[in-house]
């Protein structure tokens, strides 16, 4: 695992031009077609240093993309964290006070005694999020790893992921002990609700290929939802589908209890360790081992190490979806 910063290969767009919106919520733009259809949200900057989503949302707003059916929301979430980005300290801009993607329970948002930069912003965005039927939350990763879908714990999430068709790895998990993600908020995390959400980890934060993944998955998500037609989107955004998708069930997180945690190797993610009992690291001097054969390491990283943070999730391939053909559109 790299301990130094990765090179910054992309341009950070000036999103200040998108501040004012008809929704009345800064940096959150909702467009209504007037025709029946779902409310679809493409969200960027859940974390302030995850720029690929911001690039895509900026491009869609500048193209004046409008839905043909239903409603479309294009949003930048943690703008305050994004503004704080410093290339000399690129990991520090993940959030201002607390992780924006750990506050999404109604009880947390309703608790007036709790406040932070991220809670203020989540409360501002909440009325729009409450009305969304299908959410695509665009993220990127601390370490250089192949992209993946985080589909949540429910069957409806993994089903939507396989309908989307890409990336090739689908992670089914319960989230983080530290708090609930936006993709699990209310109806998104309710098996009886038709609402659904996917989180895409597009690649390492600042690599060019992460932008390509963000464009591809965004275009496919909008087409799958039916709110736009293919002719409304740039023709070069959609990439060929992978021949297979691996559905991985996370069985447990590994959570740091102190600053004394280190990995046994330079893991970056999606490594599969053959044998149960393999030492993957040490926590407070005690070995952390794989609980079963063929254990996958999901998004290992110590870049945000602190007590209570998930440093890696452990998972197992549950099934593989193979396509007879892999058309690009």
Interval 102-118: pLDDT, tens: 999 999 999 999 999 99
Please enumerate in sequence order all residues whose Cβ is within 8 A of that of 99, keeping only pairs 6 or more positions apart, or say none.
47, 118, 178, 179
Q: What is the pLDDT of residue 329?
A: 41
Is residue 172 over pLDDT 80?
yes
Query: Considering the domain 251-315, what is its CATH architecture?
Result: Beta Barrel (2.40)
pLDDT (average), residues 257-282: 96
Domain extent listing, the chain: 15-244, 251-315
The whole-angstrom separation of Cα 32 and Cα 24 is 15
The pair of structure tokens assigned to 65 is 């993309």
Tokens 């479309």 correspond to what residue? 72
Q: What is the pLDDT of residue 237?
A: 98
Q: What is the mean pLDDT of the chain?
A: 95
* Residue among 58, 72, 81, 70 at smallest CA distance from 29: 72
15-244: CATH number: 3.40.630.10
- Going by pLDDT thresholds of 50, 70 and 90, the confidence category of residue 264 is very high
Residues whose CB is less than 8 angstroms from the CB of residue 241 and which lie 6 or more positions away in sequence, other chains included: 165, 166, 323, 326, 327, 328
Instruction: Report, as an integer, the average pLDDT of 268-288.
Output: 96
**Per-residue pLDDT band at 4 (split at 50, 70, 90):** low
Would you say residue 3 has pLDDT above 60?
A: no
Place of tokens 């736009």: 228
pLDDT tens readout for residues 9-47: 999 999 999 999 998 999 999 999 999 999 999 999 999
pTM: 0.93
What CA–CA distances, in Å, run from 312 to 134, 161, 307? 27, 22, 13
- pLDDT of 78-90, one tens digit each? 999 999 999 989 9
| For range 280-301, the mean pLDDT | 96
């Amino acid at each position: 695992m790299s301990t130094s910063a990765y090179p910054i290969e992309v341009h950070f767009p000036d999103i200040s031009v998108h501040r004012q919106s008809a929704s009345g919520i800064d940096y959150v733009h909702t467009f209504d077609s007037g025709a029946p259809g779902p409310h679809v949200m493409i969200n960027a900057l859940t974390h302030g240093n995850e720029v690929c989503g911001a690039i895509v949302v900026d491009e869609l707003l500048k193209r004046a993309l409008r839905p043909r059916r239903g409603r479309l929301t294009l949003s930048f979430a943690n703008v305050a964290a994004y503004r704080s980005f410093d290339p000399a300290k690129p990991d520090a801009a993940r959030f201002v006070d607390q992780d924006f993607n750990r506050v999404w329970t109604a009880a947390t948002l309703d608790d007036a005694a709790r406040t932070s930069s991220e809670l203020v912003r989540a409360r501002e965005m909440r009325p729009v999020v409450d009305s969304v039927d299908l959410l695509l939350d665009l993220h990127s990763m601390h370490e250089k790893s192949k992209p993946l879908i985080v589909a949540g714990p429910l069957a409806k999430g993994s089903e939507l992921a396989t309908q989307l068709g890409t990336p090739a790895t689908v992670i089914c998990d319960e989230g983080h002990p530290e708090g609930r993600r936006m993709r699990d908020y209310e109806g998104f995390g309710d098996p009886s609700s038709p609402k659904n959400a996917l989180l895409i980890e597009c690649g390492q934060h600042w690599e060019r290929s992460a932008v390509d993944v963000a464009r591809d998955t965004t275009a496919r998500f909008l087409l799958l939802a039916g709110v736009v037609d293919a002719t409304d989107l740039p023709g070069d955004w959609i990439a060929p589908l992978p021949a297979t998708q691996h559905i991985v069930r996370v069985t447990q997180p590994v959570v740091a209890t102190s600053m004394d945690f280190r990995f046994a190797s330079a893991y970056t993610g999606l490594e599969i360790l053959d044998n149960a009992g393999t030492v993957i690291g040490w926590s407070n001097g005690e070995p952390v081992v794989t609980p079963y054969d063929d254990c996958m390491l999901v998004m290992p990283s110590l870049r945000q190490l602190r007590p209570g943070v998930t440093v890696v999730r452990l998972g197992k391939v549950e099934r593989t979806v193979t396509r007879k053909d892999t058309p690009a559109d």
